[in-house]
Amino acid sequence: MEIKGKKAIVFGGASGMGRASAELLASRGADVVVVDRKGSGGDEVAAAFGGSYLEGDVTDFEGTEHIINQAVESLGGLHITVTTAGGGIAKRTLGKDGPHPLDDFRRVLDLNAVASFNISRLAAAAMARNEPEDDERGVIINTASIAAFEGQIGQVAYTAAKAAIAGMCLTMARDLGSLGIRVLAIAPSLFDTGIVKQAPEEMKAALVKDAAFPKRMGRPVEYAKLVLAIVDNPMLNGQCLRLDAGQRFAPK
135: left (phi over 0), alpha (psi -120 to 50) or beta: left
Return d(Cα 4, Cα 133) in angstroms, integer: 13
**In this structure, are residues 22 and 46 in contact, taking their beta carbons and an 8 Å threshold?**
yes
**In this structure, are residues 138 and 124 in contact, taking their beta carbons and an 8 Å threshold?**
yes
Return d(Cα 132, Cα 128) in angstroms, integer: 9
Q: 94-95 and 98-99: which strand pairing?
A: antiparallel
Active site residue 223: no
79: left (phi over 0), alpha (psi -120 to 50) or beta: alpha
Return d(Cα 34, Cα 41) in angstroms, integer: 10
Return d(Cα 100, Cα 102) in angstroms, integer: 6
Residue of 158, 191, 223, 249 marked active site: 158
Q: How far is CA 234 from CA 31, 43, 210, 229, 237, in A?
A: 20, 32, 33, 9, 7
Q: Which residues are catalytic?
A: 158
